Amino acid sequence: MKELTTAPPQSIFQQRRSGVLLSVTALPGSSALSLEAGLKADLKADQGAGVEVPNCGFFDSACQFIDWLASGGFSLWQVLPLGPTHADDSPYLCLSSLAGESHFIGLQWLQKNGLLDPQLALFDRCHSAALESAHHHFQQAANGHHWHQDYVLFCAEAQDWLDDFALFMALHQQHKHQAWYEWPSPLRDRHSSALGDAEQQLSNEIAQIKFVQFLFFKQWSEIRDYAKHRGILLFGDMPLFVAHDSADVWANRDYFKLTTEGQPEVVAGVPPDYFSSAGQHWGNPHYSWPNLEQDNFSWWIQRMRVHLKMFDLVRIDHFRGIYSAWEIPATSSTAAGGRWQLAPGEKLLKALHDALPELPLVAEDLGLMEPEIAALRDQFDIPGMAVLQFAFDGNADNPYLPENLKQHSVLYSGTHDNDTSLGWFLGLSEQQQQQVTDYLHCDPKDLPRALLKVALDSLAQLVIMPLQDLLGLGVGHRTNTPGTVGNNWLWRFQWQQLDTDIAEQFMRLNRQSGRC
């Protein structure tokens, strides 16, 4: 599969830009497999009868959203991680840090490319069955499907991670989604004879999983092509840590601090901060940095290389963790009792830059940052982040106030972990609200538009705004509430919300602020 050239960071940040933060899962998904009007009418009738049709196939909407971004004068789309999630749907705890979420694959796209029968009345709740049908069409195509060579090339190029991932997922399904450390010990501990037997027994399932990964990266490559054509950069997000129950940890146990039974010795989290007064207990296993360093960080290089095939710019979430990370005893159920553990951040970043020159990174450096962390970020010329919602504490030296920003930085009105800007404002005390409106020289009814205008007019070279803020949405529309499980990652917009008036308004604001 062809690779797109990633723009060097200098070219990305040499001009003023603005972008929109929107999870792929917030796109309107495909409602029905078939494009035929009759089948669409059947679906609407089912919905009217109270049948819930889950949203899948989000990639089918991506190019339409890119068109809307371009019409608003934006030049960047930031997404959340695109990996396959566990039952909680968190994109920051995936079954693999390298694979893609199968539910994103567009069914209309598969129809257009001759892999699904247009007469087949399958709804989104049968998305996995549709992908199986597509694989069958691919295998049975007379004279071979026109993607055959692309598929062979993809499997060869991705072999280093794809083989392990496909076997991991097939075993995960066979064991009814039990975590790998609960499997029989020969499989848990990757005995070669047990793996060989499993590969033979599950060969059909493994082939299906590999094919689905091919489809994911194939469609995303077309989306990226389209974005490049429309002048839109794609901005990805890389969590620092990976999930314990993941192909990454199962296949690379030496790179993590685990017991002989595969259990973590210590887990990741953060001490009390803005988002949680009790801190956060994430549960991810910590890295065995000496083992990673001994292999010249090859696993990290592989991970970054896959991301750069997909994105023009990559944010490292929890950047401070490559300098020092909060280690919590595995027996503790809270973040209390943890300690900071140093990591070889300079050596890691040097290895990444040596392998991938002109690495286009952004550091998520929010919260308490020691001077050494800022120095590490600046040493590698990595822009940091600022969040406008954090600027109004009454201190003139607040680093997130627009007049205190660095030009080489990324300013957000809010992130996926914040409430919407209107929801945040409405949750402030009267005194705090007055402080905000005095600074913005506006009335409360002008929020959040006045806040977004200040962001666009700021010195920051790149400004990112969640779509909810552009739409002026308030309480009940946030993407995620840190430290909670359930009712997260569910928000979606509808196409009728993206009217041309909003695009025209932001085109004017982007032009006025020199960001078009």
Residues taking part in catalysis: 317, 364, 417
7 SS3 class: coil
Pairing of strands 280-285, 266-270: antiparallel
Using CA atoms, how far apart are residues 499 and 114, in angstroms rounded to an integer?
Answer: 33
Using CA atoms, how far apart are residues 343 and 288, in angstroms rounded to an integer?
Answer: 9
Return the axis-axis angle of helices 148-157 and 203-229, rounded to nearest 10°.
Answer: 100
If we measure between CA atoms, which residue out of 25, 53, 59 comes closest to residue 123?
53
If we measure between CA atoms, which residue out of 224, 393, 194 comes closest to residue 307?
224
Phi, psi of 169 (to 5 degrees): -70, -35
Using CA atoms, how far apart are residues 89 and 71, in angstroms rounded to an integer?
Answer: 31
Q: Is 150 exposed, middle or buried (0-12, 13-18, 19+ CB in 10 A)?
A: middle
Q: Chain centroid to CA 504: how far? A: 28
- In total, the chain counts a number of residues equal to 516
Half-sphere exposure of 251 (CA within 13 A, CB side): 21
Rg of the chain taking only CA atoms, in angstroms: 23
Could you tell me where the beta strands, DSSP code E, fall in 165-305? 233-238, 266-270, 280-285
What letters, b where the CB count within 10 A reaches 16 and e where it falls short, cover 92-125? Answer: bbbbbbbbbbbbbbbbbbbbebebbeeeeebbbe
Using CA atoms, how far apart are residues 29 and 190, in angstroms rounded to an integer?
Answer: 38
The helix/strand count (H/E) of the chain reads as: 20, 12
Are 399 and 458 in contact by the 8 Å Cβ rule? The answer is no
Q: Which residues contact 347 (CB under 8 A, 6 or more apart)?
A: 293, 297
Query: In the numeric block, which tokens belong to residue 218?
Result: 């194939």
